[in-house]
A and B are shown apart, each in its own frame.
Chain A
Amino acid sequence: MSIDTKARYAESHEYAKIEGDLVVVGISDHAQAELGDIVFVELPRLGKELAKGQTFGTVESVKAASDLYMPLSGRVEAVNAALQGDPALVNKEPFLGGWMLKVKPVDLGELDALMDAKAYAASVGEA
């Protein structure tokens, strides 16, 4: 399992990673492995304001559909359109081509409440 050391992680397995003025959101490698083959990703419309902990979409694998939760509050500035045609990108490269949202954060301080890579690895038993 790979872990992006630059990202911070929610208990519900979403990651948040600062990229310039924005924060990139996706799900961890551990999460995609647990879900199995992902067949569909539903993402919010641009401009939507979402609070930390709110549902921003769903990820559907062949056997389950799971909600995706915001690891921080912010406005949706970009969604990964490539996932509509190729949702398996989330399986192949969750931290790169499999990103989901780019968010304009309300308060970057919210990231401090998330786990760092080491704590997250420990939480999923990979330490």
Chain B
Amino acid sequence: MPFIPNSDADRESMLAIVGKPDIASLFADIPAAKRFPALKLPLGISEMEVLDEIEAMSTRNTGARDASWFLGAGAYNHFIPSVVPAIASRGEFLTAYTPYQPEVSQGTLQVIFEYQSMAAALLGVAVVNASHYDVATALAEAILMACKLDEGRRKVLLPKDLNPEYEAVVRTYLSSFDVVIEKYTGAPEKAIVDTSTSCLVAGYPTFSGEIYGLSAAAKAVHDAGALLVVQTDPLLCAILESPGAQGADIVVAEGQCLGNSMNFGGPYLGMMGATEKLMRKMPGRIVGEAHDHEGRKGYVLTLTAREQHIRREKAVSNICSNQGLSMLQTCVYLSALGASGLKTVARLCWDKAHYAASLIEKIPGYSVKPSTFFKEFLVSTPLPAELIFEKLGKKHIVPGLPLSRCFPDRPGELLICITEMNGKAQIDDLVDSLKEAAK
């Protein structure tokens, strides 16, 4: 018996109400010939055969472990200590969700609280929420938050040098709002901010890897009564002054690099934080620490009056959950490494990237574009980057992202990313191969 709770009598009475003789007559609108088309599926096969087929398909992928991996552009290949999956896969944490009756799940709330606290210290902000899907949606929500703060200001300034996927998500989110997007080139303090500007968005670093200081932009933006929204790499914040400390009002970051696998592009972790002044305008869930009537520590969802179940259409956002599992992985990762461990990872990335860049810069025909960068940098190539990608691919080297995949009119640029996972021999091999490819 199929588990369908309606009895025959239930069906009869429902059909009588809608005035139909039988269930089949409900499908009368679908042409008879289309109702049961012959699917021409092959006969069923055994589980063993299915696994063979799927595995054969999956081996056609090239993962970061199968090659020398220098590809980043939003998905970063960092080391994940075994303690991260070991704790994150414990049965007690087996939910990807903010619980519906949150206060009974004290462990989950404690993890969120600890994540928020560590993330706030890292990004240099007063408050961090429980997370968004990824940095692209966090950025879109941050811009919406700025726009809703002052409905009279309708201009959003985006950097030209922004990950095109993030820009696409921002445009989708803003498409039904009365907002004008304008783009600026170069350093954020050069953007023209006026009284119609809602927010200025800056990358720290930008898509091509350039790190611009933010203080001058923060001052210009605040003088005009607008907000500074910064999209950052949280690992960079471990060794350079955080965006919050430089005056950013809202900071968003991709948390994938902190203990999460590249996961074929998702799920990721959208980190978002803001100044205390803006905390009641921030979207997303926020966990707070409280005490019960006996003085015992406990965790609660706090500032919920911002959210859509209370504020309805006036809520800043309709986000009502968080990226629980990715957030948990990041929480464990940050706890396991600690501040000094995180600095060491960031420093390794910085040093290795600068070692690689100094060698690439010496190859005739190649030049490194950003003047100040962290782990990723755009390189001008003497031949189409796509051709380099193809040539090096034969040697199991994924040299980076040919920029033409995002911008067809920029064939001679390659975005190279170096992390702590790339050893010296691997980097030297990349440099030799780039040299050889140009011959």
Contacts and interface: CB of A to CB of B under 8 A. Distances in A.
Interface string B295-330: 000000000011000110010000000000000000
Nearest to A55: B314
Contacts of A65: 305-306, 310-311
B20 interface: no
Interface residues of B, number: 6
B315 to A, nearest CB: 9
B314 A60 contact: no
Contacts of B311: 65
B278 to A, nearest CB: 12
Contacts of A42: 280
A61 B305 CA distance: 8
A65 B306 CA distance: 8
B305 A64 contact: yes
Contacts of B305: 40, 60-61, 63-65
A67 B280 contact: no
Interface in A14-65: 40, 42, 60-61, 63-65
B52 to A, nearest CB: 57
| Of A60, A63, A64, A67, most B-chain CB atoms within 10 Å | A60
A40 B302 CA distance: 13
Interface in B279-293: 280
B311 to A, nearest CB: 6
A42 B280 CA distance: 10
Given A60-B305, A65-B305, A65-B306, A40 B314 contact: no
Contacts of A60: 280, 305
A102 to B, nearest CB: 22
A83 B306 CA distance: 19
Nearest to B314: A67
A91 to B, nearest CB: 16
8 contacts: A60-B280, A60-B305, A61-B305, A65-B305, A65-B306, A65-B310, A65-B311, A67-B314
Interface of B: 280, 305-306, 310-311, 314
